[in-house]
Amino acid sequence: MIAPPAFDAFRASARTIGTGVALVHLAVAVAWAFGLDDLYRGHTTAGIALILLGLLARLLVSEISSAWSSRAAATLRGRWRAGLATYLARPRPEGERGRHDLALAIERVATAPGLTLVSTAARVSALGLVVLFLAAGWLATAVVVALLALSAPLYLRAGRRGAELGAEYQARRAVFERRQLELISRAPELRSLGAVDYGAREIAAISESEHASAMRAIRAALQSSLVTEFLGGVSVGLVAMVVGFGLLDGRISLVRAILAVLVTTEVVAAVRRYGVEFHRREDAQGARRVLEGLTASVSGAAPLPSVHLLEARALVTPADPTARDLVIEPGERLRLTGPSGAGKTTLLETLVGWRDPRSGHVVRAGGGIAVVTPDSPLLGASLRENLLLGVTGPRDEDLHALLREVGLDGPRFADLDRTLLSDGEGVSSGERARLALARGVLAGAVLFVVDDVAGHLDEASRRRVADFLDRRPDLAVVEATSGLSVLHGAYEIGIGS
């Protein structure tokens, strides 16, 4: 299961470092003001020393904050990627393909600690307004405060607009990906009907719509950046004008005037950094909600305290309103029967974790589960690779013996180096299912889920598969069927009857 990383720990560290960065920047502004004043008065050594010390301090805190942000991002990225393994192992329903760009969501979430640092630094930099008031008086302070207050609703408006356009873009992108997959999978049919141009036109139209949505989102982000640049420049310019008049009147000393301008620059720069990262912060929060939503959708990862391989309690699937309690133990044989469309396949996919239950829960032990169907996937690789799937140890003689057991002993299966095609060309549905049975045994699966296989086998092949399973009494098998079966002596449950 995906475990949400310790955001609170990173948040506390980010706030501490952000506070330190802001205070150091303000202190450097004060040091530079006195350093420039020393240079003006001819105290060259002291002035250069203060300026260099300030520069060194800024470089140091910049390196520290950058290194910490990178380390925190790498930690979060690694945790989420590791936790997603369970989710990605679950085939999604056809209509949900491309719904989320999980890689992008992880990258956005990984930036959250750095964005919290920037946000904290911007807030703490507001202490510079106190320094500005002491150095230049109420008018300069009022100018900066007024312009910062004016920027807040503009940020919020741009942020809301950016979020809306971002959501629109993601929705259009999901439609584009899903439709593209559908058209690609139907390409042979479209070609045979002479309708390839239809598919190309539809892909082009959806692609143009996605592009237009992306451009609108980019324009919204640029509007936010323009707000920060304009208000920042105006703030520094007006403060410089106020202190300039103060210098002419003799009301403000040079060091106070320089300090006012430098502190204003620091405050505005911190707000500008926050404004630039505004959309990334919103994106990070949205990505976190996406990933934590996946956490909630992955059920049944806890190990079982007993010998049960699988346990379902009050389980209701999207295809069947009946609440069911099921317990499957090693060696148990269970047959699910019922008419086509009754929900047998949906129940099986919910038991193995490929679908989410409507209610109730499923808990599975840690052993492997082999799903055997007439559409069991094949790799575009050799017969040997399709059987072993990376398992080492079995000899070629063992593989041939296993193939003979399930009835795949003809000349087409004599060459283990023969390349199979991923689309299954040249391999029948019944042969696919028997290959899946054999590789499930080689993988050490403890539970076999067999979905409507018997109808794709002739009588002799059904007997061989039944004998194959009978010779392995420790395997648990759950079979769904509308009629014919490959199990002997199985406990039967009717679905949809």
Lowest mean pLDDT among 12-26, 181-195, 432-446: 181-195
Query: What does the pLDDT average to over 175-180?
Result: 70
pLDDT tens for 115-169 read 888 889 988 998 999 998 998 888 888 888 888 777 767 666 666 666 676 667 6
Per the structure block, which two tokens stand in for 380? 């575009």
Name the pLDDT band for 302 (thresholds 50, 70, 90).
very low
Instruction: Give the model's pLDDT for residue 424.
Output: 64
Instruction: Give the model's pLDDT for residue 185.
Output: 64
State what percent of residues in the chain have pLDDT above 90: 19
pLDDT tens for 191-207 read 666 666 776 777 777 77
Which of 17-26, 286-295, 355-364 has the highest mean predicted lDDT (pLDDT)?
A: 17-26
Per the structure block, which two tokens stand in for 12? 């506390």
CB 312, CB 361: distance < 8 Å: yes
In angstroms, the CA 393 to CA 395 distance is: 6
pLDDT tens for 389-440 read 878 888 899 999 999 999 988 888 888 888 887 666 778 888 999 999 999 9
Instruction: Give the model's pLDDT for residue 33.
Output: 92
Lowest mean pLDDT among 238-242, 301-305, 314-318: 301-305
Query: What does the pLDDT average to over 437-448?
Result: 91
- Distance in angstroms between the alpha carbons of the first and the last residue of the chain: 35
Instruction: Give the model's pLDDT for residue 188.
Output: 67
In angstroms, the CA 74 to CA 5 distance is: 12
- Full-prediction pTM beyond 0.95? no
Lowest mean pLDDT among 120-129, 272-281, 460-469: 272-281
Per the structure block, which two tokens stand in for 229? 């640049």
Count of other CB atoms within 10 angstroms of residue 214: 16
Query: What does the pLDDT average to over 448-475?
Result: 90
Instruction: Give the model's pLDDT for residue 95.
Output: 43
The residue among 69, 126, 85, 16 whose CA lies nearest residue 294 is: 85
State what percent of residues in the chain have pLDDT above 70: 73
Domains of the chain from N-terminus onward = 7-297 (1.20.1560.10), 310-494 (3.40.50.300)
Sequential DSSP letters for 192-252: HTT-HHHHHHHHHHHHHHHHHHHHHHHHHHHHHHHHHHHHHHHHHHHHHHHHHHHHHHTSS
Query: What does the pLDDT average to over 79-86?
Result: 64
Per the structure block, which two tokens stand in for 484? 């014919």
CA distances from 458 to 55, 404, 409, 450, 469 (A): 82, 16, 15, 16, 17
Query: What does the pLDDT average to over 467-486?
Result: 90
Instruction: Give the model's pLDDT for residue 282.
Output: 62
CA torsion angle 135 138 141 146 (round to 10): -170
Q: What is the mean pLDDT of the chain?
A: 80
CB 209, CB 201: distance < 8 Å: no
Return the ∠ at Cα 358 (arms to 356 and 363), rounded to 5°.
55
Instruction: Give the model's pLDDT for residue 5.
Output: 46
